[in-house]
Amino acid sequence: MKKSNIDSKGVTLVELVLVATIAILLSGFILGHFNPTFQNAKARDNKRLSDAEHFDRAINEYMLNNGAYPGATGSLRTSTILPAGNSGPLENPQQGWIDADLSANITKLPLDPLNNSSYFYSYIHSDNSYEINIRLEVLTEYSTDDGGDDNGVYEIGNNLSII
């Protein structure tokens, strides 16, 4: 009598193709549904919002301790450029992108996750007010609801019309 192949433990080509097809369809659905590009942009925006809060607190603490806002009055500072005379790096609280020693108020100056010509932080102050601006990628509802005069950026501070 011949032995039947029913008890075979191998995998057929049809089964392999079926499993590969299901895996491809499932991965396509997951990538389409969760959109990692959007999720990464949202994570960067959340970091920007967190940085803005920490930076805002550091500026207010500096004002309370020193009687003035950090840096030169009326001088726009951006997180992509070191002021003349500062040695850096950009996030250095003593010699970074803000021209003042903020080391007593913050351990590192915040930098935008991308920190390029499109996405950066900016700061300016007058004698009695200041403004911080950050550009968001996807959480733009924060930019329109912040009370500032520019719907293209998220503004924080006590005078949102300086920049």
| Every domain of the chain and the residues it spans | 39-157
Residue whose structure tokens are 């200041």: 130
CA 14 to chain centre: 47
CATH, range 39-157: 3.30.700
Instruction: Give the Cα separation of 105 and 107 in Å (integer).
Output: 7
The string over 95-119, giving b where at least 16 C-beta atoms fall within 10 Å of a residue's C-beta and e elsewhere, is bbbbbbebeebbeebbbbbebeeeb
Instruction: Give the Cα separation of 120 and 34 in Å (integer).
Output: 27
Q: State pLDDT tens for residues 51-72.
A: 999 999 999 999 999 999 999 9
Give CA separation, 154 vs 114, 133, 149, in Å: 16, 6, 10
SS3 28: helix
Q: Which among 53, 44, 56, 55 is positioned nearest to 112, based on CA atoms?
A: 44
pLDDT tens, position by position, for the chain (163 residues)?
A: 555 556 667 778 888 899 999 998 888 777 767 788 888 999 999 999 999 999 999 999 999 999 999 999 999 999 999 999 999 999 999 999 999 999 999 999 999 999 999 999 999 999 999 999 999 999 888 888 899 999 999 999 999 999 8
